[in-house]
Structure 1
Amino acid sequence: MTDDPKTLVSTDWLARHLKDPDLRLIDASWYLPDAGRDPKSEYDAAHIPGARFFDIDEISDQRSALPHMAPPPEKFISRMRAMGIGDGHQVVVYDGMGLFSAARVWWLFRLMGKTDVAVLNGGLPKWLSEGHPIEDMPPVMRDRHITVSLQNHLVVDVTQVAHASKLADHEILDARSPGRFSGEEPDPRPGLRAGHIPNSKNVYYKTLLNENGTMKTKAELREVFDAAGVDLKKPVITTCGSGVTAAIIFLALERLGVDRKALYDGSWSEWGKYDDLKVATG
């Protein structure tokens, strides 16, 4: 893998740059409720030296009834300033699964116009397996000025997705498991219908990853999209259960140089809730 400080960096790269004064590390661990894991207490017990904890549920738009929607720019600015993350920093995001929720926070930075941000390939599990250092002390954080420039084209709402679904002029890619996509498995969130957005295609996020939680090579990623019948010349909308694993597809597309792409932030938590929106199964 070629290290790219704008998309994906290796544990070797991070080990070399760990003490760089302009590096800012973020632990963006987040788990589905049924995982039985507490990301903040895991962070408190052990994290990569210097890492700050990014609470995906708190740094969100809490005016919305939907889970962890993208925060307003003002809230993002205030939280990042307090965490000592600002202009001129190289940000590296990781999580406790390998590559899961880190991509969501990477996408949030992109949404806010910050491009010097990468995901740690393989995350904390790979870092630990290689014997790299960890600590349990929170870092000393000093306020840092940060400017943002909202990139509205990187996010779409339910109206835009409904339009794209009806016209079939976009590739709508769903990162959920095949069982949830087909409607054979019930959704883990209560009150949501089973199935998928009409004219969407299933690109299960795990098919983009290796068993050790690292992202597949660019050639292998292309094979996954080809196997799912995806035309990458069309504009792409990524979706999932609540906008977390949709960002893994988004990151894979960025690795492949696909420019026209956006993430459906409401995802199935929104689409599956409203009876006036059509649902496909099978």
Structure 2
Amino acid sequence: MTAPASDDPKTLVSTEWLDAHLKDPDLRIFDASWYLPDADRDARAEYEKGHIPGARFFDIDEISDQRSELPHMAPPVEKFMSRMRSMGVGDGHQVVVYDGSGIFSAARVWWLFRLMGQTNIAVLDGGLPKWLDDGFKVTANPPVIRDRHMTVTPQRHMVRDVTDVARAAKLGDHEVIDARAPARFRGDAPEPREGLRAGHIPGSKNVYYQDLLNEDGTMKPPNTLRTIFMDAGIDLQKPVITTCGSGVTAAILALALERIGKTDHSLYDGSWSEWGMYADLPIATGAP
């Protein structure tokens, strides 16, 4: 596995890279900000007040499978294609996605594009806070949008359901990595969603997503990321399934794995919102 360069339009780009390419005709930008209810922040209102020039707003709750009772599950292919067309994003475009936290929900949209077979997408390293700190401008002006066609080729191997994860946990042929905070992983802290048990998937290992990030919200360099995974006892020769509370921060783990050149990873979309709900699924508590 070889680590990519710092600016990689398929994984992560810097604010300087985005500023230099801002007027490229085939660049499309998404503000994919999303916050937990206790953050008391309105992502769409903040977008309308000020966003990176040309950015569209990507609502991960709306562009989801709303037939599911689970939060923001991956949408049907037809819905994804329809939403992208209406936002003027299509074949041949380079997409950059950011959020208002640094690197948080943007990684979820990066993973979703990859799930749909679109590889020309990168997360903005450090997100909107880094963009502003670096002195770059925002605007309240809406983008000019023209319909574009997108060809979607779903990569089914990039997503896992509860049956897949239960089998992997039993056989031990995958590394299941949980991005939640250590206290939630151990079962020492209650889950923020009502009705969920506390603990983790048996055999899974914990890499808190915040540990992959620097204080300024940027992602740590590949060599450091690799060390963090190895120090958590993860065998990087095995395929990986990432999980978290609701499939958002699990995508940060996926992005970090991609940054170190590991491509055989998938995401458990239901995550603990699903596993923690069902009494007949086993759980473990304490350290792995």
Q: Which residue of 1 aligns with 2:212?
A: 208
Taking only the aligned residue pairs, the percentage that are identical comes to 72
Provide the rounded CA distance (Å) in 2 between the counterparts of 1:7 and 1:222.
16
Q: What are structure 2's unaligned runs of at least 5 residues?
A: none
1:262 deviates by 0.4
What is the aligned counterpart of 1:184 among 172, 185, 188? 188
| Alignment RMSD (CA, Å) | 0.6
Q: Does 1:265 align with 2:269?
A: yes
Counterpart of 2:18 in structure 1 is 14
C-alpha separation between the residues in 1 aligned to 2:167 and 2:103? 31
Alignment partners' CA distance in 1, 2:276 and 2:270: 10
Q: Does 1:81 align with 2:78?
A: no
Amino acid at match of 2:155: Q
Deviations 1:48-80 (A, max 9, x none): 000000000000000000000000000000000
Confirm whether residue 223 of structure 1 aligns to residue 227 of structure 2. Answer: yes
TM-score of the two chains, using structure 1 as the length reference: 0.99
Q: Tell me how far 1:130 sits from its aligned partner.
A: 1.0
Q: Tell me by how many angstroms 1:137 deviates.
A: 1.2
Q: How many residues align?
A: 282
Matched, 1:110 2:114: yes
Matching residue's letter, 1:105 = V
What is the match of residue 279 of structure 2?
275
Which amino acid in the other structure matches residue 107 of structure 2? Answer: A
TM-score (norm 2): 0.97
Deviations 1:56-105 (A, max 9, x none): 00000000000000000000000000000000100000000000000000
2:173 aligned partner, one-letter code: D
User: Counterpart of 2:255 in 1: which secondary structure?
Assistant: helix
- Give the secondary-structure state (helix, strand or coil) at the position aligned to 1:136: coil
Match in the other structure for 1:65: 69
What CA deviation, in whole Å up to 9, does each residue of 1:98-145 have, x standing for no partner? 000000000000000000000000000000011101000111111001
Greater than 4 Å deviation, 4+ residue runs: none
> Which residue identity is paired with 1:104?
R
Correspondence 1:70-149 to 2 at 5 A: 70-149=74-153
Alignment match, 2:237 = 233
Name 2:154's counterpart in structure 1: 150
1:24 aligned partner, one-letter code: R
